[in-house]
Amino acid sequence: MKLIGRVLSSLFAALILTGALSLGAPAQTPPAPAAGVAAAPATDPAVDRPATDEPGLAAASLLPRDLSPWGMFSSAHVVVKAVMIGLVLASLVTWTIALAKGWELFAARRRVAAQNLLLGRSNTLEEAGRALASQAQLEAAAQAALLEIEMSDGIHDKASIKERLASRLERIEAALGRRMMHGTAALATIGAIAPFVGLFGTVWGIMNSFIGISKQHTTNLAIVAPGIAEALLATALGLFAAIPAVVIYNMFSRGVAGYKALCADGTAEILRIASRDLDRAESAQSSCYRAKNAAE
């Protein structure tokens, strides 16, 4: 029994010593390849990349790199191009009307102000008509007043004559205001619809971008960014056309209101001159009647 115990103790000690030596031994390097045998090539991450990225990268390499306004316009869809061209033309119309109508309104206000001064120095309608000869705006009002008094010859009711004069002058004043507002309705139209036209171009461009994503099977930013940039350019052009149109239309509305006020001052002065002429005519008739009665 003692012999067997010693043998087992010796085996157990040998096992423990073998385990300790195996834990403390250094890691063995793989054996070098034999001479004349080619080494295995190292794996390249760039070569072993997934094949699913290849369509996106190939499409990205074909995308335009010029994201300037002209580059985005050139690469945009034909519908988006049509929207952009329409908005640029609308902007040109806005500035053309602004320059032409602005100069017309400025010159007309100066003329009416000068005509009001001439009316203020006139004593009779005939004198006012001569002073306003060959001039626009208030000349028509003076001629209309002379025509009404001539057509009312023999009528002794001054109130009815003045009522008809006021009606004629009111219509002339309204016609002058409408003539000056002619052409400004286009500004209101451009200011109202240009943002929505630009929004239509934006929606169309973004829709095309999503269609491109579906075809390329990738959400790479290089695929999405150009189409979205083109779409947003349409919105920018819509605002560029609409904002000046609204501002210029409001300026013209205030300017035409001032012009109509000047025309109203002129027609009121003509009505006062006509009233004085009627009073003079009545006084002259009364004087002749009294002189005739005195002579009898």
Q: Where are the domains of the chain?
A: 66-295
Res 206: pLDDT: 84
DSSP per-residue codes, 222-266:
HHHHHHHHHHHHHHHHHHHHHHHHHHHHHHHHHHHHHHHHHHHHH
Q: What is the rounded CA–CA span in Å between residue 226 and residue 212?
A: 11
Average pLDDT, consecutive stretches of 10 residues, N- to C-terminus, the chain (296 residues): 48 48 45 46 45 46 57 73 91 94 93 91 88 84 89 82 90 91 91 92 83 71 70 88 94 93 92 88 68 63
Res 106: pLDDT: 93
Total Cβ atoms within 10 A of residue 205: 25
Res 21: pLDDT: 43
